[in-house]
Amino acid sequence: MFSRGGFDARTSRRRPPRTDAAIVALAEDNPDKTLVMAHIGQLVADGFAVWDVLDSGEIEVRFNSGETFLLAETTILRLV
């Protein structure tokens, strides 16, 4: 178990409809990507982050603490 460090996980967040298909496409045939996406998805489900599918098919993840990441096919890029 980990400390929430002041985050409030009670906030309800829903996945955009295209997110599931984008996750499957990004993690296809790669168990490491599947594991990472599952953990990020759990953070979203717990209310610690929000993710959106961009027109390019990449996923932008914004954490409540202010960090923003871009999940591309072969990289994860921290934007802010």
Q: What is the pTM of this model?
A: 0.66
Q: Please name the residue that has the structure tokens 């599931």.
A: 20
The per-residue pLDDT for 38 is: 85
Pick from 40, 62, 42, 39: nearest CA to 52: 62
Please tell me the distance from the alpha carbon of residue 65 to that of residue 72, in angstroms, as a whole number: 21
The per-residue pLDDT for 43 is: 93
Q: What is the mean pLDDT of each run of 10 residues along the chain (80 residues)?
A: 45 53 68 86 92 90 96 89
The per-residue pLDDT for 19 is: 58
